[in-house]
Structure 1
Amino acid sequence: MVRRVNRSEESPLKTSNALETLKERYAKGEISKKEYEKINKDIS
């Protein structure tokens, strides 16, 4: 049996941590603005 996880089922803490990590990576110059925007859209 396979269960799909809906993004709305993710814990807010997980999403919050992911967004913080994303912001830090962008601020450090590790990812481009285009990458930042794509990832932000994917995890939001």
Structure 2
Amino acid sequence: MRSIRALILRLVRENPGWGYRRIHGEFATLGIKVASSTVWEILK
């Protein structure tokens, strides 16, 4: 979980215009299963 959190925060830093749904979509593209609500919780 810690590495997923770090990756989410890195994606936000590198792509400040992306919202939690876009980040969730990128994880899905990579084959990483994470709920969009989890991404939202980490970002808020």
State the TM-score, normalizing by the size of structure 1: 0.41
From the two aligned structures, give the one with the greater helix fraction. Answer: 2
